[in-house]
Amino acid sequence: MGGRVCRAFGGHDRIDLPLARFRWPGIHAGWPRILPNSGVAVPTKMKIHEYQAKEILAKYGVAVPRGEVANTLEEANDVARKLFSEGASGVVVKAQIHAGGRGKGGGVKVARTREDAELYAKNILGMQLVTHQTGPQGQKVQRLLIEETAAIDRELYLGIVLDRASGKLVFMASQAGGMEIEEVAAKDPTAIFKETIDPAVGFGAWQARKLAFALGLKPTQINAAVAFLQSLYKAYIDTDASLVEINPFITTKDDKLFALDAKITFDDNALFRHPAIKALRDTAEEDPLEVEASKYALNYIKLDGSIACMVNGAGLAMATMDIIQYAGGSPANFLDVGGGATQEQIEHAFEILLSDSHVKAIFINIFGGILRVDRLATGVVAAARKLHVTVPIVLRLEGTNVEEGRKILAESGLNFQVGETMKDAAELVVKAASSH
Ligand code: GDP
Ligand code: MN
């Protein structure tokens, strides 16, 4: 199972490990979700910024460098001044965006003087930071983390993820930290050590020791490393995280250990019991259409193609995306309106689909079960009228009351095309999109 991955859904350090990779959107909140055959990795687990992750980890006793977040240049200067006056030999200015690869993209700079810190802060704040996880349009930097620099000796890697195949957490560690761990996993999987955690027993001290030794740490560092790993595990469990990743996990010249970078994502399904974590959500970092969709409980993920899809059920939505590609087109989105979509939801779904300027045609593929086809047809007609839809709409309908549904569409006077089978409909919509 490969890491066929499409950028826009970036933000995850995608680790190409033999973990279960295929997930069904909307059903599980696993990490990272890959839509079969669509080449798309989809993160919907709530992400937070590095500075927020470090604040959480610090509460669990994980050592993080001294530092503070800054929303303005003035605040950045204040933090830098404070760190230098407290004896820092340098500060690092770090862009806070929900994507990795910031270092390579120019979003992480080490300054030896206050003047340099100001210069870097000025350059990075407000910049459109492009990394391998943001896509070519980049992500606007709205805040910085200013931290005391560490005298790095070694850059290592630590990560905890859920392996869905075994239903257990896996604690990973590698000596090849700092760089893109996906590359390490692809080129030399043996460079990543793994400990599978028995849920009944938890993460054993013996396992932490095993990983610490595998990291080649000095005897004087082992005990601190064991405590460090155990703290990470406790933070993961307590916060219902779906991923905790420290890359790099560093040793310093004076034998200390620090989380120099930190990433945590959370299981959305558990957020209800963590209001404080839920409040850390930064919708400015998310796709605006996805934020809009989440307000109406629509499972929407924006993609790069030109054919909008409206489908009920995650499995059917994935099959629809596949068949669009098979017919030579490309989906503009994943959208599951759910088993019992209401008229209102259908209307909002239309609005969201139509606000994507790349959309050239809409493919509505519904199997009427709980959602009766006549009800859907009425909703579609009403929404198309209200929103003055001009792009072609192709439907493929099956299920309860399908005849009534088709009649409603035919009698609406609107320009709908109905495909007999999924394949016919996919071919129709690809044709409509290319000629529109
Ligand atoms: P990412 O590129 O988004 O993963 O951002 P990181 O926080 O991992 O930073 C990228 C790289 O910048 C790290 O791998 C380090 O090599 C370097 N870096 C980050 N903080 C410091 C620091 O305090 N001192 C030094 N010398 N390098 C740092
Ligand atoms: Mn990193």
Please state, as a whole number, how many other Cβ atoms lie within 10 Å of the Cβ of residue 59.
Answer: 12
Residue 267, phi then psi, degrees to nearest 5: -70, 115
Please give the average per-residue pLDDT across 172-194, as a whole number: 90
Verify whether ligand 1 is closer than 6 Å to residue 152 (CB atom). Answer: yes
| 185-208 per-residue burial string, b: 16 or more CB within 10 A, e: under 16 | beeeeeebbbbebeeeeebeeebb
Q: Which of 245, 285, 347, 427 is catalytic?
A: 245
Calculate the average pLDDT of the chain.
87
Q: What is the pLDDT of residue 120?
A: 98
Residue 44 confidence (pLDDT) above 80: no
Alpha carbon of 259 to ligand 2 centroid (Å): 10
Q: What is the pLDDT of residue 347?
A: 86
Residue 127 confidence (pLDDT) above 60: yes
CA–CA distances in Å: residue 222 to residues 54, 191, 209, 338 = 22, 19, 7, 50
CB 13 within 8 A of CB 4: no
Q: What is the pLDDT of residue 264?
A: 97
Greatest CA separation for the chain: 80
Condensed to tens digits (0 to 9), the pLDDT of residues 257-313 reads 999 999 999 998 899 999 999 999 998 898 888 888 888 888 898 999 999 999 988
Tell me how far apart the alpha carbons of residues 82 and 78 are, in angstroms, rounded to a whole number: 6
Residue 363 confidence (pLDDT) above 90: yes
Q: What is the pLDDT of residue 62?
A: 97
Tell me how far apart the alpha carbons of residues 302 and 49 are, in angstroms, rounded to a whole number: 22
Please give the average per-residue pLDDT across 101-120, as a whole number: 97
Please give the average per-residue pLDDT across 414-434, as a whole number: 94
Residues less than 5 Å from ion ligand 2, measured at CB? 247, 261
Q: Which of 157, 233, 236, 296 is catalytic?
A: 157
CA–CA distances in Å: residue 172 to residues 101, 180, 199, 243, 255 = 20, 14, 16, 11, 22
Residue 10 confidence (pLDDT) above 50: no
Alpha carbon of 252 to ligand 1 centroid (Å): 13
Alpha carbon of 178 to ligand 1 centroid (Å): 7
Tell me how far apart the alpha carbons of residues 182 and 189 are, in angstroms, rounded to a whole number: 9
CA–CA distances in Å: residue 125 to residues 120, 266, 390 = 8, 27, 41
CA–CA distances in Å: residue 311 to residues 274, 345, 386 = 31, 12, 20
| 43-57 per-residue burial string, b: 16 or more CB within 10 A, e: under 16 | bbbbbbbbbbbbbbb
Condensed to tens digits (0 to 9), the pLDDT of residues 53-98 reads 999 999 999 999 999 999 999 999 999 999 999 999 999 999 999 9
pTM of the model: 0.77
Residue with tokens 């945590």: 264
Residue 237 confidence (pLDDT) above 90: yes
Tell me how far apart the alpha carbons of residues 347 and 63 are, in angstroms, rounded to a whole number: 49
Condensed to tens digits (0 to 9), the pLDDT of residues 309-343 reads 999 888 999 999 999 999 999 999 999 987 777 77
Q: Nearest CA to 375 among 355, 397, 401, 357?
A: 401
Q: What is the pLDDT of residue 136?
A: 87
Amino acid at 221: Q
Hey, which of 91, 97, 108, 245 would you mutate to test ligand 1's pocket, going by the most ligand atoms within 8 Å of its Cβ?
108
- Residue 413's contacts (CB-CB under 8 Å, 6 or more residues apart) are none
Please confirm, yes or no, whether 427 is among the known catalytic residues: no
CB burial of residue 289 (10 Å; 0-12, 13-18, 19+): middle
